[in-house]
Structure formats: structure tokens, C-alpha cells
């Protein structure tokens, strides 16, 4: 989930961090291999948040650390980890986060990418037959901080390999970009969640995400807690409402909506609305150069509940939607089922 340092993401991070986190554990990413994980497990690389530090927590191998940490290397070479992305995508940038790793962070890192066939088994990640492509050449890393780097390769990939030189610890590894779904394999008669992040849906903008990120709305599975959703701050303004704009993974005609307020009990919205438009690009929508059309009547909401709504027949196709909640509060997930056009 995208629950960590929302204010920091908005104010300090580069623009590519607003894209989909392709390797997120919550999306279905997986760390497949690491050359060494003596002090801390490789799986921590793609967990939510930046990781925590507990001063007096130790294991039988040494200091407990919330990240991936290899032992001190006494032989030539370096360590690396292989991550399978949740979906094939085009990468825009990376965050190699060394949070809490100060005297034990790697001084340098590099990143490679590759496309592997579904179900392809790799027995040796050093096999020269694997055609890894350099996505980020060797770059320096600062201790205890975000290390943001752009990716200048525009080729789709579904696996990445993070190299650290020569060893050390990385708290979190973020791969940001856009999902590249093969829509030619989807029938025009098939009902599919067109807003889902795994289908290329993307949260473009919202007026408020004080407590948790708008991108959580379109993650797979149900939310695991109240932080795993989109939640706005309390409003004291009469007639206030909050909104989020989503770009669908593919234009389509929507037929059914699911609004899930899982875990939101004393802070769920009173009701919500859904509007749609057809636009040629995101800027047209963000600049207000479109006409929004209501896709359903206002929907009354309940606490901690899945709300299903069938939309009217004969609606026009849409490429973007605006989901509004009245007056404020939290929604865990939003599913928009329809047929592509």
C-alpha cells in the first residue's frame, strides 16, 4: 500500500513517484532471489512504508534491520537482488531508499531489467543467456535517505535486478512507471475492472489525501487496514466534498461499480458520486477542458461495507472518471467494471 510519507511525496519527491509502484508487494511484486541476506531478508525491499528502526532489537545474527542487508563481503564481487514486477511496465524512475542504513549502506548501485515469459523458470540468474538491459548505470547512494534516479529506457520489462556495490543494506526499493497491459487478449464482451492498477488504471489527481494515498483505491485485493485506502482530512466547510480523478486502463463502457469502505467505520463518507468523460490525454482532463457526465445517482454509503451499484444502460464510453465523496472521509477500494471499446 502507499501509506507512507504522503506529504513528503507531494513536496519533495520527483514527479515520477506519482506513477504506479510496479514492484509493490501490495500490487503482487515479489523478490525472487538475493545473493546474500544474512542480516535482513530480501522481501523487506518491497514492503510498504520506509521501514522502522528499533534501537534495542537484535537477532542471533546481529542487529535487526527493516530492509535487505547482506553481510560484509571479504571476497571480490558484489551483491544483488532480483525482483519480479507485479505487471509488465515501462519504468520511469527508481527510489533506492537507504533509510536507517548509515554506516552500513552500499556506496553505489545499478539496475538492470528484462522481460521473461510467464512461467519461465530461471535456475541461474547469472546465466549469460539472460539478456539483461541496463536501466540505471552505476550511481552513488547517500546513507539514510531516498536516492531518486530517472530511468531513460522506454522498453517494457517485468523483472529488475538491483546491484549494490559491494554489500550493505537497502531499506526499500521502489520501481515507478506505467503498466503495459496487452489489451488485444481482452474480449470486447468481457467485463473487466478498467480502473485496476494491474490493468493500467492510474490515479491522476485529488483535492486531498491527508491520511492515505489515492493510489490505494485501485490496488488489488481488499484493504488490509484503515491505512490501506484513500482518506481525506476532516472538513469544517459547509457543502464540502472531496474528489479523485482516475484514468482508466482502457476506454470503455462502465456497467457496474463497487465502492468498498472496508475498515472505515467512524470516518466513512456519507455518500458518493461518479462522473465520466472521454478525453484524448490527461492534460485535457486536469486543465478542466472536458465535460463530466453523471454515471450513477448519488450512492449512500455505510461503514465497513461493500457497496455494489449497477449503472444505467446506454452510457457513453469514458476514458477518465471523477469519484467524489461527501463531505469527506475514507474509501478502501473502488472497482469500475465495464467493456473496452
CB-CB neighbours of 112 under 10 Å = 21
Give the pLDDT band of residue 119 (cuts 50, 70, 90): confident
Give the CA distances from residue 256 to residues 32, 307, 335, in Å, rounded to whole numbers and listed in that order: 36, 11, 8
Strand, helix or coil for residue 182 = coil
Question: What pTM did the predictor assign?
Answer: 0.91
**Residue 7: is its pLDDT beyond 60?**
no
Distance CA 171, CA 163 (A): 14
Instruction: List the beta strands (DSSP E) in 22-64.
Output: 30-34, 58-59, 62-63
Instruction: Give the per-residue pLDDT at 5.
Output: 37
86-112: pLDDT as tens digits: 999 999 999 999 999 999 999 999 999
Walk me through the domains of the chain, giving residue ranges and CATH numbers. Answer: 6-179 (2.60.120.260), 185-340 (2.60.120.260)
Cα→Cα distances 169→137, 149, 160, 255, Å: 19, 18, 18, 48
- Cα–Cα nearest to 230, from 248, 215, 241: 215
Yes or no: say if 43 and 81 are a contact pair by the CB < 8 Å rule.
no
Say if residues 271 and 301 touch (Cβ distance below 8 Å): yes
Give the phi and the psi of residue 81 in degrees, each rounded to 5. Answer: -135, 145
pLDDT in tens, 262-281: 999 999 999 999 999 999 99
Distance between first and last Cα of the chain: 30
Residue 297 has pLDDT above 70, yes or no: yes
Query: Could you tell me the CA-to-CA distances from 111 to 42, 146, 164 in Å, in that order?
Result: 16, 16, 9
Give the whole-angstrom CA distance, residue 269 versus residue 14: 31
Check whether 81 has a pLDDT greater than 80: yes
Flag whether pLDDT at 8 surpasses 70: no
Q: Which letter does DSSP use for residue 234 in this model?
A: P
What pLDDT score does 183 carry? 95
Is the pLDDT higher at 87 or at 10? 87
CA–CA separation, 191 and 255 (whole Å) = 8
CA 66-67-73 angle, to 5 degrees, is: 125
| Count of Cβ atoms closer than 10 Å to residue 127 Cβ | 9
Share of the chain above pLDDT 70, in %: 97
| CB-CB neighbours of 224 under 10 Å | 15
The C-alpha angle with vertex 340 and arms to 337 and 341, in degrees rounded to 5, equals 140
- For residues 204 and 214, give the distance between their C-alpha atoms in angstroms, rounded to a whole number: 9
Distance CA 275, CA 271 (A): 14
Contact 6, 213 (CB under 8 A): yes
Instruction: Give the Cα separation of 4 and 260 in Å (integer).
Output: 21
- Return d(Cα 135, Cα 113) in angstroms, integer: 6
Q: What is the mean pLDDT of residues 141-166?
A: 96
Q: Which H or E element spans position 285?
A: helix 282-286
pLDDT for position 2? 41
Amino acid at each position: 500500500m502507499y501509506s507512507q510519507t504522503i506529504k513528503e511525496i507531494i513536496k519533495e519527491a520527483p514527479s515520477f513517484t506519482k506513477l504506479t509502484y510496479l514492484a509493490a508487494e501490495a500490487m503482487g511484486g515479489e523478490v525472487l532471489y538475493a545473493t546474500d541476506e544474512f542480516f535482513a531478508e530480501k522481501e523487506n525491499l518491497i514492503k510498504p512504508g520506509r521501514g522502522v528502526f528499533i534501537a534495542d532489537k537484535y537477532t542471533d545474527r546481529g542487529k535487526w534491520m527493516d530492509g535487505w542487508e547482506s553481510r560484509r563481503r571479504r571476497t571480490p564481487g558484489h551483491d544483488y537482488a532480483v525482483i519480479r514486477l507485479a505487471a509488465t511496465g515501462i519504468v520511469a524512475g527508481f527510489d533506492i531508499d537507504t533509510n536507517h542504513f548509515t554506516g552500513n549502506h552500499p556506496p553505489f548501485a545499478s539496475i538492470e531489467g528484462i522481460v521473461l515469459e510467464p512461467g519461465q523458470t530461471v535456475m541461474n540468474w547469472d546465466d549469460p543467456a539472460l539478456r539483461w538491459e541496463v536501466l540505471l548505470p552505476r550511481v552513488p547512494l547517500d546513507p539514510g535517505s531516498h536516492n531518486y534516479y530517472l530511468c531513460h529506457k522506454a522498453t517494457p520489462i517485468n523483472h529488475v535486478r538491483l546491484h549494490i556495490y559491494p554489500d550493505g543494506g537497502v531499506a526499500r526499493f521502489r520501481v515507478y512507471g506505467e503498466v503495459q497491459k496487452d489489451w488485444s487478449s481482452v474480449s470486447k464482451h468481457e467485463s473487466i475492472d478498467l480502473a485496476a492498477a494491474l490493468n493500467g488504471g492510474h490515479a491522476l489527481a485529488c483535492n486531498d489525501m491527508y491520511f492515505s494515498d489515492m493510489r490505494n483505491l485501485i490496488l488489488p485485493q481488499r484493504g488490509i487496514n484503515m491505512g490501506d485506502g484513500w482518506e481525506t482530512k476532516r472538513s469544517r466547510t459547509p457543502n464540502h466534498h472531496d474528489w479523485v480523478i482516475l484514468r482508466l486502463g482502457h476506454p470503455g463502457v462502465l456497467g457496474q461499480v463497487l465502492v468498498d469502505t472496508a475498515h472505515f467505520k467512524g470516518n466513512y463518507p456519507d455518500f458518493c458520486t461518479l462522473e465520466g468523460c472521454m478525453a484524448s490525454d490527461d492534460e485535457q482532463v486536469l486543465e478542466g477542458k472536458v465535460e463530466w457526465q453523471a454515471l450513477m445517482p448519488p450512492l449512500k454509503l455505510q461503514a465497513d461495507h461493500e457497496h455494489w451499484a449497477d449503472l444505467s444502460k446506454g452510457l457513453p464510453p469514458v476514458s477518465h472518471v471523477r469519484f467524489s465523496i461527501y463531505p469527506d472521509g475514507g474509501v478502501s477500494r473502488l472497482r469500475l467494471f465495464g467493456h473496452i471499446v
